[in-house]
Amino acid sequence: CGGGVGETYGGDGVAARRWERDAGVSGGVVLSAGLGAYLGPVRLVFRTRCISGWSELCNEKKIPCSAVVSLRDALGDPVAIRDWQIAGLPVDNFSTDNGIIVSNARRWPLMIDPQGQATKWIQNMEKGNKLAVIKLSDANFVRTLENAIQFGSPVLLENVGEELDPILEPLLLKLVFRQGGVDYLRLGENIIEYSPEFRFYITTRLRNPHYLPEVAVKVSLLNFMITVEGLQDQLLGIVAAKEKAELEEKKNQLILESAANKKQLKQIEDRILEVLSSSEGNILEDETAIRVLSSSKTLSVEISEKQV
């Protein structure tokens, strides 16, 4: 079968690449979780400094960790990031990390957004999902919130201060309970159905808010304020898109192709591992396994050549 099962499985480096990629997954997961949990409110310089220090601690404790830790590599979806940037998310790495935290964090995001970048991004991203934009000063904000929770529509709560309305606490803590096979949430004096499709975003225009610990632990605090480094990256991205529009279009096409290739490679790797784990006896005598492995190797080589 083309030199034996060893060549079919390992000759094209499928397994080797997977084990090499996953070698530092333990430390990468720890650092990514730490970044999302603790470093959302701080600027890029401090994030980089903290990640560097944590990475050194991982190495001291013999925790496998990649040389370069990137939230984009650990949790980022290139196609989703491209869609976010089209919707108005700034192209710099700092904002991209914030977007990844928004989409992956368990707690609802509270975004420090004095320039309105996050607000613009959320409004464009959720425009087709009947986004409701409310303020705490609105007379009917509770009714709007109840309807969105029940029907699974996204809500953007704008311009909050340093204190949040106590009526939001069950929502922020996600105190959802199940009754009769249906999820419910108590909001104020009302008990309403809770849709798993519901999404909640909060923004503040304050440049340097001081949130008390009892507020900070209920939300995912994120700093979307423009920095010098971020502004440089954004301006560079705008100039490149204007001056070399064809390159920008080609870049988007390559992102889509790369995402499709990575998905296909993942399916191939999983299929190979499934065949090897389910095969009984001598795998060289299993014609089905040999056929699957051979076809997987051919397809894997083709995809790898495209990725180069």
> Which residue type, as a one-letter code, is found at position 117?
Q
Stretch among 3-7, 212-216, 241-245 having the lowest mean pLDDT: 3-7
pLDDT of residue 233: 74
Query: Residue 256 phi/psi, 5° resolution?
Result: -65, -45
Strands 220-223 and 199-204: unpaired
| Cα gap 85→100, rounded to integer Å | 12
- The two tokens of residue 170 are 């069950």
Average pLDDT over residues 247-261: 75
Query: CA 32, 75, 50: angle at the middle one, nearest 5?
Result: 25
User: Tokens 């808010």, residue?
Assistant: 209
CB 224 within 8 A of CB 111: yes
pLDDT of residue 33: 87
pLDDT of residue 11: 43
E runs forming strands in the chain: 109-112, 132-135, 154-158, 176-179, 182-187, 190-193, 199-204, 220-223
User: Tokens 């014609």, residue?
Assistant: 287
pLDDT of residue 4: 41
How long a stretch of residues is the chain?
Answer: 308
Cα of first residue to Cα of last residue in the chain, in angstroms, is 27
User: Tokens 């009754």, residue?
Assistant: 179
Specify which residues 179 forms β-bridges with: 182
What is the pTM assigned to this prediction?
0.76
